[in-house]
Structure 1
Amino acid sequence: MKINSTTNRPISADAVGARPESAAAQAYGAVAGGSASSSQVALSSASRKLLALQEGSNDINVERVASIRAAIASGQLKIDTGRIADSLIASARDLLK
């Protein structure tokens, strides 16, 4: 496969539908004199929940991870392979339904 070289030509602002500076400033609520207007944004309860989830503080049970890490280090962690196999089979059955 051959890739042909192309020349980069600048695209005019009119070609991409750009607006003049003052129109863009008006669209985003800026005052034409260069001073910014004050505005407030109210977040919905759903957006606040999403922000809380994004922080990641609720993702990991640090105490549980520490106890598992200690059990692995001391050799006391017992893995039930039969339970793992049963769960994998049940999951595959659910997917096939």
Structure 2
Amino acid sequence: MKISSSSPHAKLAALSTARESRAQASSSQPAAGQAVDLSDTARQLSALSSGAHDVDMQKVQAIRDAIASGQLKIDTSRIADSLLASARELLK
């Protein structure tokens, strides 16, 4: 059995340094001044993930206005039919 003469603190420091080096090397952030060229697909995905297209705020405001003025008519039978159709589709 061989006993290592190096201290545990030195080994810990070496492991910590190695981890930091790997983390910096694998970082997906480009260094300052470096340009990144994205493909068209990457640009589209980036635009979708920004949340800009999640909600149509004009439509939301129109619905709010209709509710406030009492003009919004909710067709409960249409909602029920859509729910049943969705459930039937899931059961197939």
**TM class, shorter-length:** 0.5 to 0.7
Give structure 1 regions of 4+ aligned residues with deviation exceeding 2 angstroms.
Answer: 10-16, 18-21, 36-40
- Per-residue displacement from partner, 1:22-68 (whole Å, max 9, x unpaired)? x65x946xxxxxxx785332111111111111222222222111110
Change (3 A) 1:85 1:13: farther
Consecutive unaligned residues in structure 1, runs of 5 or more: 1-9, 29-35
Q: CA deviation at 1:73?
A: 0.6
Consecutive unaligned residues in structure 2, runs of 5 or more: 1-8
Q: Give the equivalent residue in structure 2 for 1:91.
A: 86
More helix by share: 2
Structure 1 vs Structure 2 CA RMSD: 3.3
Q: CA deviation at 1:96?
A: 0.5
Percent identity between matched residues is: 53
**Aligned with residue 49 of structure 1, among 44, 49, 52:** 44
- Report the TM-score, using the length of structure 1 for normalisation: 0.61
Number of equivalent positions: 78
Q: Give the equivalent residue in structure 2 for 1:12.
A: 12
